[in-house]
Structure 1
Amino acid sequence: MHSIETFVTDVINDPLWMILPFLLVAAGLYFAARTLLVQVRMIPDMFKAVVEKPGEADGTEAGGKSQDISAFKAFTISAASRVGTANVAGVALAITLGGPGAVFWMWIIALVGGATSFIESTLAQLWKVRDGDSYRGGPAYYMTLGLNARWLAAIFGVAITLTFGFVYNALQSNAVVEAITVSLGTPSTGAKALIGLGMAALAALVIFGGVQRIASVTQWMVPFMAGAYIIVGVLVIVVNFEMVPAMITDIIAGAFGFRPVASASVWGAFWLAFMNGMRRGLFSNEAGEGSVPNAAATATVSHPVKQGLVQTLGVYFDTIIVCSITAFIILLSGVDYAAGDIQSSSLTQEALATVVGDWGIHFITIVMFFLAFSSVLGNYYLAQANIQYFTDSKLVLNGFRIIVLLCVFLGAISSVPLIWSLGDTFAGLMVVINLCAIVPLGHVAAKLLRNFTRQKKVGVDPVFHRDMLPGVRNIVCWTGDDSATRNYREAMKALE
């Protein structure tokens, strides 16, 4: 088993992930140029889009409750996947390997990746399809409908199902056990099994309810868990406010190699900060990986660009806010993050306890549980959308759900270094396949952005109809028959 892990890590992942970050940066810069820095100049529109509600729907549940998934619910589904244990453990890992400068490059990657996230999420909205009382879509759908490459979509669908449905969900429960080990001591095998069973049982209550129930749970869980973590992080900043200028100096100096890391040279220190910050940022916000578009496609919005803007905001929320809170807790605590062994969530627990007392260790454990549980829900839905790309069979879907729950359980009782390595491999494959689609389709998203901007300039709330892009084929939805797009005629008239 160790030899397989070594082969996957050394022969496949190391060369692959030496190249992929640069491909993602190049793609992000290209998309930023095509959209005239949409990820920066349209930040106010992002906040407007995330709180926008769909119009009054035709179909309603008993009691008149709308079945439409709002932009905010779609945002929380994607955030549930993005904001996970890696925001606590992964940032700590990046700092132990790359020093404070890694944080700077995480911020830069978030800004660059915002443009990529805008493109892929806008495309997912354009080529979404009906799924009962809501929508579904994602890379497999825009590869098939937009690129006419069903073979590519099939490979992507398998990769994301294995990665997010099985591998990443096993890692979530494993990370919870690791945090509990620091908080309460090493649990017995029986205790680990109970943790795994508990997480799997709670997840079953949600995922068997479909996307509507997932959206309903994540819309309160994500703000709750992130809000509590941010409040405690702000407390750490306030308590150590006099150290903030020095911390910022360390972050900037470390980013360019002027702070020693593991006895490295200036160039070596720069490279460690750059690579670890870039890799951590890309893994955290998932921009370009093709996962988030599956959640973006679920929303009922009046224009595809609106969900593109919402998911760009999601990149910033994940990396610039939540990841930064973890970094600030570590860097302001005074703990020695470069002392020997590479650390993950245990470093964050130690750092918070140094500032607020021992309760900080247990608080991080609780945060890790909520982060992990919400990630299981988000990861599951991203994979489910791709299972449904292949088949609508209820038998297959329920079988898939059972395997997901089994992976959650097994992750709690297993040591999973090989699974981590395989996760890196499949995630890299997803990036390559997704870039093969969004780069040639990027011009369509740019056209949609111009359409959106034109409508805003003439004073209307942008509404899209597929007739507005006559040269683009296979747009299944956007016929003006849902709650958010009924007044498309007014928008088309305003553009004449």
Structure 2
Amino acid sequence: MGEYVSAVVAAVNDVLWNKQLLLLFLLLGTGIYFTIRTRFVQVRKFGEGWRRLFGNFSLNGAKAGKEGMSSFQALTTAIAAQVGTGNITGCATALYSGGPGAIFWMWVSAFFGMATIYGEAVLAQNYKTTDPDGHVTGGPIYYIKAAFKGRLGKFLAGFFSVAIILALGFMGNMVQSNSIGEAFYNAFGLPRLAVGIAVAAVAAFIFIGGVKRLASFTEKLVPVMALFYIVGGLVVLCINHEALAGAFRSIFVGAFNPQAIFGGVAGLGVKEAMRYGVARGLFSNEAGMGSTPHAHALAKVEKPQDQGVIAMMGVFIDTFVVLTMTALVILSSGLLQPLAEDGLTGTALAQAAFNQAFGSFGNAFIAICMLFFAFSTIIGWYFFGETNVKALFGKKAVLPYAVIAVGFIVIGSFQKVSLVWDMSDMFNGLMVIPNLLAVLALSGQVARAAWPGKKEKETQKKA
């Protein structure tokens, strides 16, 4: 039975991510389409997004409640989910499998992904609603039903909800806790199970507190964890400053001519650079996946496009800041050996790069960052899953969902099961399809929000 399930999961992942690259073309194509329809909103409104980000910046903002949360709290909740182990482990894996050029294609995917996530946030605001208890709620499940009426809409919305609950709430959080357990065992020798129990206990405390505690937690943790990692990365880059020019050169040359950097490395070509760069980049920033709209729906803003603009900043911070920092640290270290059988990859490559500059403290630094990144993702992903549990099964199902999620966090910390990782990838991919179909079907609303006509401008003035 296990072998049959593994074979099915592998076949689906080949179509979605690996061989047929269905999602790569779908996600990138959607980003290009929205970039054109919104007249390059990610360029025109970038300054506004930056001003809104720092204009709303607060480590102790107004408490979230039934009416939702502040725009900044919604952004930090989204970033909490976006900035995860993919920014360290995923980046290192992309470099190993696709070479330095993968980073260029990560930037390309993030640029177009900013337009996609703008659309997701606008639609999440347009179709947010209130639950029977009077709490504001929203997400793809609601705009999917609006895009496709009748049975088709209900089926696609239900399919999305089940996929995200499994992908993020359960298996995804199991994967995140495994990364924390592994990092702390390697750095400090701490038992993985003990680390898992501690992480699960803190997570449960936040889960029980609901959206109020979630918003308060993310608005404090996200800025601190980002600053901690960026400062550490900048210190390494200062130490490796002589290699920085070569690192940037390898990114641009590797994007179009990988052989010029590493010679005749078998299997390393432009296709691999594009494939791993785009796939890992989109997986990291989650643009188009349908996860972050759950947070952006709760933002208290005057107009939907106000949250769309600030949502773009989440993709920018995730890819152009945090993920790029990891890439430059690795490339400037000189430790990258793409596709080498005995070459370092994943977390081990990132740890080795920081160790080269920090000595043995490098392991501890990565372990602490892994704790920040992975734990924040656990909190964000749990919340996204909870929203869909409520929509499908009602408020009574939240407690069983929380208990199961906490159990997966503990199990994942000490038991790495490759099938769980593969299934997480599969359900992550499957939830993209109904989400993007709905976003594309409602693209007219997004275009009008990004470039309002005369009627829309008059309506906004009256409002």
TM-score (norm 2): 0.91
Judge conservation of contact 2:67–2:300 (CA < 8 Å) in 1.
Answer: no
Specify the alignment match of 1:480 in structure 2.
none
Tell me the CA shift for residue 271 of structure 1: 1.3
Judge conservation of contact 2:147–2:441 (CA < 8 Å) in 1.
Answer: no
Specify the alignment match of 2:173 in structure 1.
169
Q: Aligned letter for 2:305?
A: V
1:252 aligns with 2:252: yes
Judge conservation of contact 1:289–1:434 (CA < 8 Å) in 2.
Answer: yes
Structure 1 residues 66-125: Cα deviation after superposition (integer angstroms, max 9, x where no partner): 965111100011111100111111101111111111111111110011111111111001
Q: For 1:6-45, what aligned pairs fall within 5 Å after superposition?
A: 6-8=6-8, 10-17=10-17, 18-45=21-48
1:422 aligns with 2:423: yes
Specify the alignment match of 1:156 in structure 2.
160
> Computing the radius of gyration over CA atoms, which structure comes out larger, 1 or 2?
1
Specify the alignment match of 1:308 in structure 2.
308
Specify the alignment match of 1:435 in structure 2.
436
Tell me the CA shift for residue 268 of structure 1: 4.5
User: Given the superposition, is the C-alpha separation of residues 2 and 234 from structure 1 closer, same or farther in structure 2, using an over 3 Å criterion?
Assistant: farther
Q: Which ranges in structure 1 are unaligned for 5 or more consecutive residues?
A: 55-59, 459-467, 469-487
1:392 aligns with 2:394: yes
Structure 1 residues 272-330: Cα deviation after superposition (integer angstroms, max 9, x where no partner): 11111111101000111111111110111111011111111101110111101111111
Specify the alignment match of 1:412 in structure 2.
413
User: Given the superposition, is the C-alpha separation of residues 337 and 176 from structure 1 closer, same or farther in structure 2, using an over 3 Å criterion?
Assistant: farther
User: Given the superposition, is the C-alpha separation of residues 53 and 238 from structure 1 closer, same or farther in structure 2, using an over 3 Å criterion?
Assistant: closer
Q: For 1:334-353, what aligned pairs fall within 5 Å after superposition?
A: 334-338=334-338, 339=340, 340-341=342-343, 343-353=345-355
> Percent identity of the aligned residues?
36
Alignment partners' CA distance in 1, 2:383 and 2:454: 32
1:49 aligns with 2:52: yes
Tell me the CA shift for residue 50 of structure 1: 2.9
Tell me the CA shift for residue 184 of structure 1: 3.2
Tell me the CA shift for residue 221 of structure 1: 0.4
Structure 1 residues 11-44: Cα deviation after superposition (integer angstroms, max 9, x where no partner): 2101222121011111111111100000112101
Q: Aligned letter for 2:462?
A: M
Judge conservation of contact 1:88–1:323 (CA < 8 Å) in 2.
Answer: yes
Alignment partners' CA distance in 1, 2:272 and 2:262: 8
Tell me the CA shift for residue 451 of structure 1: 3.3
Q: For 1:1-400, what aligned pairs fall within 5 Å after superposition?
A: 3-4=3-4, 6-8=6-8, 10-17=10-17, 18-51=21-54, 68-131=68-131, 135-148=136-149, 149-185=153-189, 191-258=191-258, 259=260, 263-264=264-265, 268-338=268-338, 339=340, 340-341=342-343, 343-393=345-395, 395-400=396-401
- What SS is found at the alignment partner of 2:437? helix
Specify the alignment match of 2:446 in structure 1.
445
Alignment partners' CA distance in 1, 2:127 and 2:65: 26
Alignment partners' CA distance in 1, 2:415 and 2:98: 28
Specify the alignment match of 2:404 in structure 1.
403
Tell me the CA shift for residue 370 of structure 1: 1.4
Tell me the CA shift for residue 356 of structure 1: 1.9
User: Given the superposition, is the C-alpha separation of residues 371 and 398 from structure 1 closer, same or farther in structure 2, using an over 3 Å criterion?
Assistant: same
Judge conservation of contact 2:390–2:397 (CA < 8 Å) in 1.
Answer: no
Tell me the CA shift for residue 140 of structure 1: 0.2
- What SS is found at the alignment partner of 1:287? coil
TM-score (norm 1): 0.85
Alignment partners' CA distance in 2, 1:81 and 1:382: 9
Structure 1 residues 349-388: Cα deviation after superposition (integer angstroms, max 9, x where no partner): 1110101221111111011011111111000011111112
Alignment partners' CA distance in 2, 1:231 and 1:214: 26
Structure 1 residues 452-473: Cα deviation after superposition (integer angstroms, max 9, x where no partner): 99888x9xxxxxxxxx5xxxxx
Tell me the CA shift for residue 392 of structure 1: 3.2
Alignment partners' CA distance in 1, 2:10 and 2:390: 34
- What SS is found at the alignment partner of 1:373? helix
- What SS is found at the alignment partner of 1:451? coil
Alignment partners' CA distance in 2, 1:210 and 1:84: 21
Judge conservation of contact 1:257–1:273 (CA < 8 Å) in 2.
Answer: no
Judge conservation of contact 1:70–1:299 (CA < 8 Å) in 2.
Answer: yes
Judge conservation of contact 2:253–2:261 (CA < 8 Å) in 1.
Answer: no
* Structure with more of its chain in helix, by fraction: 2
Judge conservation of contact 2:329–2:353 (CA < 8 Å) in 1.
Answer: yes
User: Given the superposition, is the C-alpha separation of residues 4 and 412 from structure 1 closer, same or farther in structure 2, using an over 3 Å criterion?
Assistant: farther
- What SS is found at the alignment partner of 1:152? helix
Tell me the CA shift for residue 134 of structure 1: 5.0
- What SS is found at the alignment partner of 2:300? coil
Judge conservation of contact 1:179–1:346 (CA < 8 Å) in 2.
Answer: no
Q: Aligned letter for 2:173?
A: N
Specify the alignment match of 2:462 in structure 1.
492
Q: Aligned letter for 1:42?
A: K
Tell me the CA shift for residue 450 of structure 1: 2.8
Alignment partners' CA distance in 2, 1:452 and 1:223: 37
Alignment partners' CA distance in 1, 2:127 and 2:273: 38
User: Given the superposition, is the C-alpha separation of residues 24 and 235 from structure 1 closer, same or farther in structure 2, using an over 3 Å criterion?
Assistant: same
Alignment partners' CA distance in 2, 1:453 and 1:115: 22
Tell me the CA shift for residue 405 of structure 1: 0.4
Q: Aligned letter for 1:28?
A: G
Alignment partners' CA distance in 1, 2:164 and 2:68: 25
Alignment partners' CA distance in 2, 1:68 and 1:23: 32
User: Given the superposition, is the C-alpha separation of residues 6 and 150 from structure 1 closer, same or farther in structure 2, using an over 3 Å criterion?
Assistant: closer
Judge conservation of contact 1:166–1:404 (CA < 8 Å) in 2.
Answer: yes
Q: Which ranges in structure 2 are unaligned for 5 or more consecutive residues?
A: none
Tell me the CA shift for residue 341 of structure 1: 4.6
- What SS is found at the alignment partner of 2:130? strand
Tell me the CA shift for residue 147 of structure 1: 3.3
- What SS is found at the alignment partner of 2:136? strand
Alignment partners' CA distance in 2, 1:262 and 1:7: 35
Runs of 4+ displaced beyond 3 Å = 51-54, 64-68, 131-134, 258-265, 336-339, 451-456
Alignment partners' CA distance in 2, 1:66 and 1:157: 22
